[in-house]
Chain A
């Protein structure tokens, strides 16, 4: 047995020596963002001092991402992981954290940042039971659809960047205050623009718009999913349709990543316009950055109620 094991050890060492050349180190803080909104925010706050990329796109459902080898490889070299948390990435993120062998980004260390920890969550279920669908015990995780939450996360993220990269702390502080000034101005503008949307009854697909609804004073009249995380069923759509005939909603909204067929079905039969919203950065041509995301979201909502 001994010579056999010696052979193994030698094979192992040879293979280690053959390790591929490491990624080019540009000196920028390498940020692994779970979602496009946090990649965009980190880039706003860090400028050229950070290199932030999102591992998911606006066309993907963040609840259902495969823990692909490429994601493990990206996390392996990350200086920081920026994710939403609140269990939205529960089916893939823990595995990446486990397999990437990168202690810098382990939960509890400075390199691990969960945006949802810094905002008050809505819809924290009183009873957690899967008969009610795929509930998130920590509350609704789609926090970024309220622009005010972005500002709160920006402050916390900036502080964390400064902690990870002290030599550039001033850069982050200056960029963050400049961003927040622009952002607060923009929030005031969006709130102004969205005045006509107040009390508008809307049908959503998944409960991903709860924070937007709460922020702009919309009213949720129903959701295409019968229960969170379960696909629309004909029976549930028929129920919604009869509800719409009694108490019509003004809009049906769905995200860039959701199957548009259920929304189109209901829209066609109820004559209520269906509006696709970008949901996150990259979800539409105009949603190129965080400002564009909210500009386009509000423009689409306003166009829908006209």
Chain B
């Protein structure tokens, strides 16, 4: 309305100006001016009163419409309130049950080498579940997940892995805080350590049927720690988090499964992530973590030069650095039809301490010498969804065992052939996969890998896999 009034004023002004401008020849008397002013005033008044009247009428009309609508809305509100009450869910005892979900997974494997004799040359065996899938048809690990809020302050999660060999393992079982502020969250119990990127994801969320070679040699496939994690998210536009974990050191690299019987801590992990968006279509995150452990009697088996399987054991310090990066793209951020994900991790580990040969004195007698190694490994993978439900991906793995220095070999007490698995080697693997998801709850995958983890024994692996999820399915991390 204000606009109309301004226009009216400008018109009046222009008229006045024009009247003045186009009669320059005539001598302007005071009388003329007075008359002109009077006319102008009347004109203005007329316009203004007419505009005011119009405005008033419009307002009345609007108010009437609004009131009528308000009356209608009130009736509607009453009806909706009734409907709202009727539509609320029934309350029963089971309403308080935790959310339960179940992941079923099965494979068919066709492998040119025996998976039971799997090892990754150049690296200390971890005792983890690093072997490829079995030959023929096998049931994979079934995951059973229970999760619920405990009270306003805590949430609890338990994830049990039901093995095909009829064993049950607790993969994760932790509580975490709900009520903390200033970006802090605390987790306690058993959880997948925040080291690298892939380690925090359950196998059903992996893009390939197996873990990276780097995860296998540095984290025993997947590192789950009994401990406490504190994480802080910075109040910045660019995502930045910082966290620390302390744990008992229950599995590799700290030691054999079960862990140590000592007060205090056996493992510490420090991590940080940076992340953000690039436009509407892309997002990225990079992470750095440093896992420090003090392995006690970390043992592994290896046939020595006499062909006898002996048990060797490491005591010392292990430092693992992990650098990870992930980049995701989808047109306008809409990943429904097409999307792309690029991910990679680089690990570097230094270990120093003592290696005890043949702890059970089964062959050449128990002896202890120094041990020092600098080892590294990385992988990079890309997965592209080329049609709704269809994805194809490629992964390349490469490890470098470095030259492990063994005191027992340099001082001549034993030969390098007594520690065959530690001999220098660069394991590598290429993996191709294609998968189809009929819905977000089911996935069928075909994978082919050319695996050179074993020196002189390349393994061609074909894996067919199904992964299905039932029940309340939680959200997945970025």
B275 at the interface (CB under 8 A from A): yes
A168 at the interface (CB under 8 A from B): no
Taking a contact as CB atoms under 8 Å apart, the answer to whether B439 and A259 are in contact is: no
A102 at the interface (CB under 8 A from B): yes
Given A67-B476, A98-B155, A120-B83, decide whether A57 and B280 contact each other with a Cβ distance below 8 A. Answer: yes
The A/B interface has a contact count, at CB < 8 Å, of: 198
Considering the complex, give the chain B residue whose CB is closest to the CB of A119.
B80
A60 at the interface (CB under 8 A from B): yes
B276 in complex: contacting residue of A23, A69, A231, CB < 8 Å? A69
**Interface of chain B, main secondary structure:** mixed
Contact with A along B210-241 (1 / 0, CB 8 A): 00000000000000000000011111111110
Looking at the assembled complex, report how far the CB atom of A12 sits from the nearest CB atom of chain B, in whole angstroms.
Answer: 5
Looking at the assembled complex, report how far the CB atom of A18 sits from the nearest CB atom of chain B, in whole angstroms.
Answer: 9
Interface residues on B, range: 35 or more
Q: Which of B84-122 contact A (CB under 8 A)?
A: 84, 86-87, 89
Most chain-A Cβ atoms within 10 A of its Cβ — which of B84, B265, B478? B478
Contact with A along B230-255 (1 / 0, CB 8 A): 01111111111010101000000000
Given A64-B336, A66-B328, A70-B277, decide whether A108 and B152 contact each other with a Cβ distance below 8 A. Answer: yes
- Which residues of B sit under 8 angstroms from A95, Cβ to Cβ? 474-477
Given A5-B265, A23-B236, A57-B280, decide whether A69 and B478 contact each other with a Cβ distance below 8 A. Answer: yes
Taking a contact as CB atoms under 8 Å apart, the answer to whether A185 and B239 are in contact is: no
Q: How many residues of A contact B (CB 8 A)?
A: 73
Taking a contact as CB atoms under 8 Å apart, the answer to whether B62 and A57 are in contact is: no
Q: Which of A86-133 contact B (CB under 8 A)?
A: 90-95, 98-104, 106, 108, 118-121, 124, 130, 133
B163 at the interface (CB under 8 A from A): no
Given A98-B185, A101-B182, decide whether A73 and B232 contact each other with a Cβ distance below 8 A. Answer: no
Considering the complex, give the chain B residue whose CB is closest to the CB of A186.
B69
Most chain-B Cβ atoms within 10 A of its Cβ — which of A69, A72, A91, A99? A69
Taking a contact as CB atoms under 8 Å apart, the answer to whether B270 and A119 are in contact is: no
Taking a contact as CB atoms under 8 Å apart, the answer to whether B336 and A121 are in contact is: no
Considering the complex, give the chain B residue whose CB is closest to the CB of A149.
B80
Taking a contact as CB atoms under 8 Å apart, the answer to whether A99 and B185 are in contact is: yes
- Which residues of B sit under 8 angstroms from A16, Cβ to Cβ? 232, 242
B77 at the interface (CB under 8 A from A): yes
User: Complex: how many Å from CA A66 to CA B385?
Assistant: 15
Taking a contact as CB atoms under 8 Å apart, the answer to whether B292 and A72 are in contact is: no
Q: Which of A127-149 contact B (CB under 8 A)?
A: 130, 133-134, 137-139, 148
Looking at the assembled complex, report how far the CB atom of B370 sits from the nearest CB atom of chain A, in whole angstroms.
Answer: 20
Taking a contact as CB atoms under 8 Å apart, the answer to whether A148 and B76 are in contact is: yes
A21 at the interface (CB under 8 A from B): yes
Q: Which of B139-187 contact A (CB under 8 A)?
A: 152, 155, 176, 178-185
Looking at the assembled complex, report how far the CB atom of A123 sits from the nearest CB atom of chain B, in whole angstroms.
Answer: 10
B138 at the interface (CB under 8 A from A): no
A230 at the interface (CB under 8 A from B): yes
- Which residues of B sit under 8 angstroms from A1, Cβ to Cβ? 264-266, 294
- Which residues of B sit under 8 angstroms from A188, Cβ to Cβ? 65, 68-69
Considering the complex, give the chain B residue whose CB is closest to the CB of A12.
B244
5 extra interchain contacts, Cβ-Cβ under 8 A, other than A1-B294, A59-B332, A70-B237? Answer: A67-B475, A68-B478, A101-B232, A106-B152, A259-B388
Q: Which positions in B face A, CB cutoff 8 Å? A: 62-63, 65-66, 68-70, 73, 76-77, 80, 83-84, 86-87, 89, 152, 155, 176, 178-185, 231-240, 242, 244, 246, 264-266, 268, 270, 272-277, 280, 283-285, 292, 294, 328, 330, 332-337, 388-389, 438-441, 474-478
20 A-B pairs in the complex with CB atoms less than 8 angstroms apart: A8-B268, A15-B242, A15-B272, A23-B236, A69-B285, A70-B237, A70-B275, A72-B233, A73-B233, A73-B239, A73-B240, A98-B176, A102-B183, A104-B181, A118-B84, A119-B80, A181-B62, A185-B69, A187-B69, A188-B68
